[in-house]
Chain A
Amino acid sequence: MIVPAKTYFKVWGALLVLLLITIGAAFLDLGPFNLPFALLIAFTKAALIVLIFMHIKGSNPLLHLAAGAGLLWLAIMLVLTMNDYLTRNNITWLPK
């Protein structure tokens, strides 16, 4: 499968626009939403790279499985770890 050069240039343009948006958003005080917004943009950029540059779009399902497995295992690690920290209220070992 050969992807048209135009598609690559479009994705590259979209990635640069998203970069400018994420820098711009850092100058706005969105309260608790600064981090979720920055992460939303980061995930969008990652999705563009994975789907188009790394050719996951339209590729063999076996590759989808391998790519998804990495993400799933990372999610397990983050969710279970934070599940612990979010439900503790006596963290005394942290230095001031």
Chain B
Amino acid sequence: MSRSPLVAEQFEELEQQHLADQFGMWIFLATEVMFFGGLFTCYTVYRFLSPEVFAHASHHLGLVLGGINTGVLLCSSLTMALALRSIQLGRRGATIWLLLATCIFGIAFLGIKGYEYHEKYVEHLIPGSRFHYDGPSPNRAQMFFWLYFAMTGLHGLHVLIGVCVLSTVAILVARRRIRQENYMAVEVAGLYWHFVDIVWVFLYPLLYLAGARG
């Protein structure tokens, strides 16, 4: 029996290779959970120690912009999932457009995020010597903003990396290096993108909705 040229030497068949590809990505995502987990644990401890201060400081974050950004990422996950479906069905053009749409959603997310960072800069809410806060316990509030920038910053870096990965995948699809038969590259890049979406799904309520606005 002749081997498919798509199967690497160490694998018996394509199915086994596909599973190994996915397994490797999931292991990597587990390490990413721990990477973000340190910050989530830090957040949990400080919020437990000063819940009122966190609730008050959270009101300085724009609920609407954060909500729009959540919607943007959820839409990007849809286009990503549809991109995978397209390559599985061998629709090359649709795959490229859907991957580019996902990238554009990612860039829109970063743009809105950048606008929010600028707002915080103008309001002197970036931790450091110029930090100024009128509410109760400014030192603890500064900790909230430190966590806000650390968590959203690390997440934003992941979005940026995701955009780079997906645009590379789009180019490879356009050059017919990734085809219907070896769609796994799209699947694995998609896993990373959906993971980044999930991180934001938790960041939004924890940071923006920490205090009831009613």
**Residues of chain A whose beta carbon lies under 8 Å from any beta carbon of chain B:** 2-3, 5, 8-9, 11-12, 15-16, 19, 22-23, 26-30, 34-35, 38-39, 41-42, 45-46, 49-50, 52-55, 59-60, 62-63, 66-67, 69-71, 73-74, 77-78, 81-82, 85-86, 91, 94-96
Partner among B23, B63, B70, B75 whose Cβ is within 8 Å of the Cβ of A62 = B23
User: What is the chain A residue whose CB lies nearest that of B64?
Assistant: A23
Query: How many angstroms between the C-alpha atoms of A96 and B133 in the bound complex?
Result: 13
Interface of A is mostly: helix
Q: Contact between B214 and A27 (Cβ–Cβ < 8 Å)?
A: yes
Q: Contact between A70 and B19 (Cβ–Cβ < 8 Å)?
A: no
User: What is the chain A residue whose CB lies nearest that of B192?
Assistant: A54
**A-contacting residues, B185-210, CB 8 Å:** 187, 190-191, 194-195, 197-198, 201-202, 204-206, 209-210
Partner among A23, A74, A94 whose Cβ is within 8 Å of the Cβ of B33 = A74
Q: Contact between A78 and B49 (Cβ–Cβ < 8 Å)?
A: no
Whole-angstrom distance from the CB of B53 to the nearest CB of chain A? 10
Report chain A residues within 8 Å CB of B88: 2
Q: Contact between A63 and B201 (Cβ–Cβ < 8 Å)?
A: no
> Which of B32, B81, B140, B194 has the largest count of A CB atoms less than 10 A from its CB?
B81
The bracket for how many chain B residues form the interface is 35 or more
Query: How many angstroms between the C-alpha atoms of A66 and B194 in the bound complex?
Result: 16
Query: How many angstroms between the C-alpha atoms of A39 and B34 in the bound complex?
Result: 19
Partner among B74, B139, B190, B205 whose Cβ is within 8 Å of the Cβ of A42 = B205
Query: How many angstroms between the C-alpha atoms of A12 and B167 in the bound complex?
Result: 22
The verdict on A78 contacting B41 (CB below 8 Å), with A3-B81, A62-B19 known, is yes
Query: How many angstroms between the C-alpha atoms of A43 and B12 in the bound complex?
Result: 38
Query: How many angstroms between the C-alpha atoms of A54 and B212 in the bound complex?
Result: 32
Q: Contact between A27 and B70 (Cβ–Cβ < 8 Å)?
A: no
Query: How many angstroms between the C-alpha atoms of A62 and B213 in the bound complex?
Result: 43
Q: Contact between B78 and A9 (Cβ–Cβ < 8 Å)?
A: yes
Whole-angstrom distance from the CB of B18 to the nearest CB of chain A? 9
The verdict on A39 contacting B205 (CB below 8 Å), with A2-B85, A8-B82, A85-B48 known, is yes
Report chain B residues within 8 Å CB of A3: 81, 85
User: What is the chain B residue whose CB lies nearest that of A81?
Assistant: B41
User: What is the chain B residue whose CB lies nearest that of A76?
Assistant: B37
**What mask results when residues 83 to 127 of chain B are scored 1 for a CB within 8 Å of chain A, else 0?**
001001100000000000000000000000000000000000000
